[in-house]
Amino acid sequence: MVMYIIIGVVVVLFVLVLVTYNSLIQLRNKVKEAFSTMDVYLKKRYDLIPNLVDIVKGYAKHETDTLQEVTKMRVDAQKGDLNTAIDSEVKIGDALQSLLVVVEKYPDLKANTNFLDLQERLSKMEEEIAFSRRYYNGSVREYNNKCQMFPFNLIAGVFGFKSLPMYQVESEQERKVVDVKL
């Protein structure tokens, strides 16, 4: 009789470990999918940047430092792992803000139809990126909760599941409240 109880406990523990392990794998894959989705939108944005830089170059020949910085950030952002990509994303956002500040100095550029079209596409892309960041952060939250909550944290620790970073705005420029004047 005691033997059946021990076998029953072992089977229940084995099933618990199996179910927990599989749910951790599922959540980790969801995080990877969420990051890949965000990465697709970031790639589309990076593809728009050279066109935007080329248009601005024609109007702002003496603003080469800003233009070179944006181009360099675009190249750097496409390399690296998850943490590097998140850091690069913050930097490229700052660089794009700098580029748009340069644009404010050139009224003719702001009226250029190609520039306006690119600016509109970039704006839509930023909305898609914001949605994908929220999806990514939600996926990471679910995964991290599972990795950190008892008894799942025991199984996560044994199998090497570690918490993943959330996407956070680290740029002071992006955290500032925008003063809209009408």
Q: Is residue 181 part of a domain?
A: no
Q: Is residue 127 part of a domain?
A: yes
Q: Is residue 76 part of a domain?
A: yes
Residue 123 pLDDT > 50, yes or no?
A: yes
Residue 83 Cα distances to 33, 88, 113, 134, 167, angstroms: 16, 9, 37, 17, 9
Q: What is the pLDDT of residue 18?
A: 93
Question: Which domain CATH number covers 51?
Answer: 1.20.1440.20
Q: Which residue has the higher pLDDT, 181 or 156?
A: 156
Q: What is the DSSP secondary structure assignment for residue 86, as one 8-state letter?
A: H
Residue 101, token pair as written in the block: 């500040």
Distance CA 12, CA 1 (A): 17
Q: Is residue 143 part of a domain?
A: yes
Which residue range is the domain that position 111 belongs to? 2-162
Distance CA 99, CA 56 (A): 8
Q: Is residue 167 part of a domain?
A: no
Q: Is residue 177 part of a domain?
A: no
- Please tell me the total count of domains within the chain: 1
Per-residue model confidence as pLDDT tens digits over 17-53: 999 999 999 999 999 999 888 888 888 887 777 777 7
Which amino acid is residue 90, in one-letter code?
V
Q: What is the pLDDT of residue 180?
A: 35
Helix axes 2-59, 64-77, angle to 10 degrees: 160
Alpha-helical runs (H) found in the chain: 2-59, 64-77, 82-104, 107-111, 113-148, 152-159, 172-175
Q: Is residue 180 part of a domain?
A: no
Per-residue model confidence as pLDDT tens digits over 57-96: 666 554 556 656 666 666 666 666 666 666 667 677 766 6
Cβ atoms within 10 A of the Cβ of 9, count? Answer: 10
Q: What is the pLDDT of residue 181?
A: 39
Q: Is residue 63 part of a domain?
A: yes
Q: What is the DSSP secondary structure assignment for residue 178, as one 8-state letter?
A: P
- Number of residues that make up the chain: 182
What sign results for the dihedral spanned by CA atoms 115, 116, 119, 120?
A: negative
